[in-house]
Amino acid sequence: MYIRNDDLLRIARLWHELAEIPAARSDEALTHCFTQLAQIIGAGNVFAVGAVRDFATPDPFDRLRGWRLRAFRRLHRDDGRDRAVASMLRRFNANAVDPLTEAFAASTGTTRVLLRREAVDDATWERSWMVNEVWRPIGVEHRLLGVQAVDAISESCIGFDRGPRERPFAERERDLLHLFLLGGLGFHREQAHAPARPGRGSPRASRRCCASSSPSCRSARSARRSASRRARRINTWSRS
């Protein structure tokens, strides 16, 4: 691993700080998490995405393999980023998926972090609509992604952005994020159990990025109801 001792101490300190924030203050915890990780890893912006897998409607042609993005939360937001996210979601809903997202969707069920060059070669990436039509217009050139597997049908993704004048993310940043995710499952679960405070467009609305119970031992009907409840809970997390 490409991690220094001071890196370990900073990650451990962040785990401790997050554990000290009560579950009822989930907004504060998430903002603190973003702010500190942006400094530790080195990024201009940090975002999180919640995803739920719909087992009730499997489709072999679905490039997201049943996963649907239900929530977005960003450290810094503006109209340009909002439009970029809306454009991306429209494409995803039309089954137009970029190669990096497709690579992550193909390896579900484990906590994982990949550098872009580990998942997609340069030539393929340069042809992607994601980098040319979504990232670069809002000043993003480099992105680091990590995914936390919470249970059989829910995952949360955290991402970091750098601009065109900054160096690409490398092995140190990859390993730092992986370390944080490996020790952060309790934080994600706590976020999921915090009381929901619905509110469209409110920056203080509660966010749900993961769910807590697996449908593996339930009937198909029960699993569908559970997925629906998760989706509603996650949607309250996305309006910020």
Domain positions in the chain = 5-237
Fold that domain 5-237 belongs to in CATH:
Beta-Lactamase (3.30.450)
pLDDT at 187: 65
Note the pLDDT of residue 2.
Answer: 73
What pLDDT band is residue 224 in, cutting at 50, 70 and 90? very low
CB of 38 within 8 A of CB of 58?
no
Between the CA of residue 14 and those of 2, 5, 17, 122, 162, what are the distances in Å? Answer: 19, 14, 5, 34, 22
Kindly tell me if the per-residue pLDDT of 117 is higher than 80. yes
pLDDT tens-digit readout, 131-177: 999 999 999 999 999 998 888 788 888 999 999 999 999 999 999 99
pLDDT of residue 119: 92
- State mean pLDDT over 95-116: 89
Spatial contact of 237 and 209, defined as CB atoms under 8 Å apart: yes
The Cα–Cα gap between 207 and 204 comes to 9
Asked whether the beta carbons of 91 and 129 are under 8 A apart, the reply is yes
Report if pTM > 0.85. Answer: no
